[in-house]
Structure formats: structure tokens, C-alpha cells
Amino acid sequence: MFLRIVRGFNHLLACGVLALGVAAPLISQRCWAATAKSAGARATSPAHRVVTAPIHAATVHPCADCEIHVVTRGEGLGTIAREYLDRTSYMTIPGLESAIRRTNGWTQKTYFRPGEKVLVPGVLGTPIVAHPIPVPKTFEARGIYLTAWMAGSERGLDMIRRWREAGGNAVAFDIKDVEGRVAMPFSNPLAPKDENPPIRDLPKFVHFLHAHGIHAIARIALFKDAYLAQHDPQLDPRSRQTGQLWRDKGQVVWVDPSLPAVQDYNLAIAKAVARSGVDEIQFDYVRFPASGDEDDAEFSFEAAHPNWQRSDVINAFLKRAYAGLHPMGVLVSLDVFGVAAWEQKVDLAHTGQDIPQMARYWDVLSPMIYPSHFFGFDGIAVPGDTPEHFIGESMKRFRQVTAASGVVLRPWLQAFAWRTPDYSPQYVTEEVSVARQEGGIGFLLWNAGNNYTQALTAMAIMRAAGNKYFRGDELPKRPAAPAGKLRSAASGGACNPGEATY
């Protein structure tokens, strides 16, 4: 035993340790593992570079940015990870749990004795700060959609890596969905109270995206907001017939887009997101209801501005939003119905989406061109199986009606099989090809369940074809790594000082 310890100490000296009983400088992960093995100790696999305390056979500190946690009664691994997550460079609780196990040399350990010491790796000296990475509005984003819950999970982080490896460079993720859930910590009298939002630290998440070369697009569903509609009924439209709350097919899910309080609340969310470092704010549900008995719905602007149409409300809001957000260094984009390009008067009257006017106030317009949704159009029985027609025709029409505005067209394309028997990787490549031929710059793929198996295969096909399907734009630079490396459960260790692992 004595000889094994001596050999271990000799190896520490070779790695840069000065003398017995003297604090050691940084040593690499490889040195740590070899030292532990040569001393007869159980070799650990710490998450990143390590430093020793004064050298004693039973006291070795395995990382430079660890903190020692003394266990109290009833604490388990999950409890400790939840307590420290926001102060570490790790993205998720499972990721930090795995790192704690690796750092302490455990395999399955979950519960501890009171007074036991646990090393928590990746502790940050200061919170991570992210800033938008400026790109022109003509930047060719190649993106997918993720729900907030997916984006904030280990599975979502893995999906982001896979998308990047396949050739993608953008992710659009929910910050507020149609249920009204806000995905990040956000204090506002109108906001839901959520102690555990899906994205616990938005700047940290954005920095993770940037470090992977991903353009960060924060999606905000505006005026379809079930939480707000149900908890603050004074913000809802009213039924002309009954005077009660207006319902969309029996449900109270819409707020009044013309109320200043509703608009201000959504702008407050958007500005908080912009301050967190995202690159683009994307508004969805920028409209009045398009289902239910729309004619029965009464909105506040009808009394305040009797000469206004619904489109006047939407345009006035967009003009104000653009003026408030664009100076913050973010791009601003809009999602609109794909069928809006047909400019049917009934659609304009109900939704208030006057495309030529809306395009004047925004950088990027993202029409949702899902062929399967065009049932009843152009006499085609199975519209889902004719992507070349509906994407081509939609893009032509959008290009024509927005020609004078300078807005960039970046369509949402179908990445799901609903009512589409022929859905396949080749289906996706055809969508992307047609959209580009008709003036689209980049694309976003939509799958509500975030299943992009076919899309990933399609990306491999398109990437191998050179610039046939896309130019290949990338973010202008990768930001410097923060002190204390962003990590997830899949992250490896870094042997060199200052090397970041993502």
C-alpha cells in the first residue's frame, strides 16, 4: 500500500504538483485518473479539469470550480442538484446529477448520510450573460421548432446537437405558448406563477445555442392565451348576443388583441427575452380568432376606434412592437397563415392579417405553408401530397404581395405526416427546394411533437448536394466560453485550462 501511494505522489509531481503538503496547480483530467489509479484509489472521471488540495492520502479536491456541499438530513442527489443547478454551468438537473456522480466517483449512489461531503462541479463565479449575435435579415436560417419543455430537457439538448451536426443553424423555441405558459422566470402581475419553468436560465440556454452555432429564435404566441383568458376575464372579448365571455368552440382561450394591457404584457415578455440574448423574436397568433362564431365576438377597439378594422389594430400593434424591439439588437419575425396569401376577404375581415401592411413593420415573414392544411383549395383532393403546388403557389403569392416592403420570406414547412401519405425525407427536400426556387431565404421545419427523424435524413441528403438546397450561411462567430463551461449530461471533460465543452 505504501509503495502504491508513493508511486501516486511521484505521478502528481510529474503532473506539476510542487511538494508534499503544498497546494497543487491545475492538473488535467488524464493526470487525475492516472494518479488515482497509481495510488490504488478508485479512479474518477471528473467533468472537467481538476486541482488538488494540500496533498494527503485521503484528501484530494477533484476540480477547480467545485464546491463542497455538506449533506443535511433527508437530502438526496436530486435535492442537491436542484439546489445548485442555477449556480452551475450545467443546463439540466439530470445533467448535473450525472456530473456529480462522475466527479465523486460514484455509479448509482443517490442517498447520503448527514454530514457527508459531496463535490458539486461547474459552480460559476457569476451568472452567464448572453448577447444577440447580429446577422442581417437575409441570414439563411435552417431551423426546427422545439417546445419549451423539449428545449429545456436533456433530450432537447441532444436534438439541438443532432440538428447542428446535420447542417441546421437555427432553433425556434417556445417562450409563451397558446396555453399561456411562460417558459422562463418572469415576474408580471398577469403572468402564471411557475417556480420551475422549463427553461430555468434563458441566458445560459442562449449561450448554449450560440456555442453550437445556432441562431436563437424565441417564439411568443400572442393573443391566443388560455391562462390569461381564464384568469383575467376582463381582458377577453365578449359575446354580442349574451354579453358573456366569447368562446371559441366552447372554450375561453382568446384575449382581446386591442386592449393595451394585453399588448403591453406581451411586449414586456418580448423585451425580457431580448435582454436575455436571443437573436430573434418571433410572434405567432398575431391575429384575431379565426374559428368559432367570429362575428359574435366584440372587442374593445370597436368603441374606442369605431372607424377601425381589425387589421388596423394588428398593424398599430406591430408598428409599436417593432419600434420597441428592433433597437435592442434582435431581428423580429411574424408567423402568418399560409392561406393568407390568397387574400380572401373573409380571412382578412376575421383575422386582421393584412399581409402587405404587416410586412412593412417586420424583418422576416414566416408563412406556415403546410400542404396538408390546404384542404378545399384548388380542387386537389389530397393537398398533403402536392407540396410542389401549394408551397410554390403560396410563395409566389407572398412574394407578390410583399414585394414593396423589403421583408424576407422564410417559410414554415411541413415536417409531419398528418394527411400526407407520401411524407418522407424526399418530401422535405422537395419542400425546401421549391421554397428556395420561389424566393424563400432559409426555412423552418414544424413538427408539434418535435420528431425530426425524417427531417434529419433529409438534411443529410441536402447537405451532400452542395448549394442546391441552401447556401450554407453560418453565424459570424462563436462567443468566448464562459467561466465554468456550459454542460449537459452528454458533455465530456476538458483537459486544457480554458477549454470549453458543450
Neighbouring C-beta atoms of residue 247, cutoff 10 Å? 20
Q: Which of 275, 349, 284, 286 is nearest to 317 (CA)?
A: 286
CB-based contact 38:3 (threshold 8 Å): no
Query: How far is Cα 90 from Cα 75, in angstroms, rounded to an integer?
Result: 20
pLDDT at 305 over 50: yes
- Only one residue has cell 383549395, namely 377
- Only one residue has cell 405558459, namely 181
Number of residues assigned to the chain: 502
pLDDT at 198: 97
Three-class SS of 12-45: HHHHCCCCCCCCCCEECHHHHHHHHHHCCCCCCC
pLDDT at 61: 53
Give the confidence band of 271 by pLDDT, cuts at 50, 70, 90. very high
60 DSSP assignment:
-
Spatial CB neighbours of 390, under 8 Å, sequence gap ≥ 6 = 338, 369, 371, 374, 377, 378, 380, 383
Q: Which of 20, 26, 34 is nearest to 51 (CA)?
A: 26
Q: What is the pLDDT of residues 404-422, one digit of tens each?
A: 999 999 999 999 999 999 9
Neighbouring C-beta atoms of residue 83, cutoff 10 Å? 13
pLDDT at 30: 31
Q: What is the pLDDT of residues 76-100, one digit of tens each?
A: 999 999 999 999 999 999 999 999 9
- What cell was used for 223? 393573443
pLDDT at 343 over 90: no
What is the percentage of the chain residues whose pLDDT exceeds 70?
83
Instruction: Delineate the domains of the chain, giving CATH numbers in brackets.
Output: 2-120 (no CATH), 142-463 (3.20.20.80)
pTM exceeding the 0.75 threshold for the entire prediction: yes
